[in-house]
Amino acid sequence: MIQFIKYIFIKYKYKIKNLKINWLNTKIYWNGHIFCWKWTYIWDYSQIQSMSPYKVVLWKNVRISHFVLFYTKTSLADQDFSIATRKKDWWDIIVEDNVWIWAQSFISHWITIGENTVVWANSVVTNSLPPHTICAWSPCKVIKFKSYLKDKEKLKLAEKYTNILSNSLKIKYWWNDWKI
C-alpha cells in the first residue's frame, strides 16, 4: 500500500502520466521537472535527480534498467572544496524515443541520448550520444552503428560525432577512405 501511495504522489508531483515504475527503492527527487511520454519504464533502484528549473525528458518507449542514475546538477571539479559555497553546474537531460539504458549506468547533466540508442551496462554518459547507435564504456563511446543504417548515414553520424567514436570505429572509417 505504501508503494502505491508513493507512486501516486510522484506521478502527481511531477505531473507524470505515462510512466511505469518498478518501485523497489526507485527514487525521483528534488524540485525540477520530469516529463515522460508513452511506454516509459524504470526498473528497481534507479534514481532521477531533477533540480529546478532544469528537467529530465524521457520520450516514447524508453527503458531504464536497474541502478541507473540521472543527475541534472553537480559540483564543478576545478575548485577549492574547503570553501562552504561551491560552484555548481546543471542542465537538462533528454532521452529520445526507443532508448534502452542498461543497468548501473550514470547519465550526467547536459546530455541528449539520440533516438533508438542502446547504452550498455556500467557506462558513464558525459557527452550527448547520436541516434541509432550502440554505446558503452566509461566515458561512453559509440562502439557500433545499428545494422539497418546505410553507409552514407553511418558516415554522416561518424563525421558529426567523431569525438565519441570508439578507436575501432575511427580506424574503420579512416581506412575506408572516409577520413573523418
Domain coordinates of the chain in residue numbers?
Answer: 2-147
- Report the chain (180 residues): mean pLDDT per 10 consecutive residues: 67 66 74 83 89 89 94 82 79 95 95 97 96 97 96 91 91 64
What pLDDT score does 19 carry? 66
Q: According to CATH, what is the number of the domain 2-147?
A: 2.160.10.10
What pLDDT score does 15 carry? 64
What pLDDT score does 18 carry? 62
What pLDDT score does 59 carry? 92
What pLDDT score does 118 carry? 98
Residue entry with cell 567523431 = 162
DSSP-derived 3-state class of residue 174: helix
What's 162's DSSP letter?
G
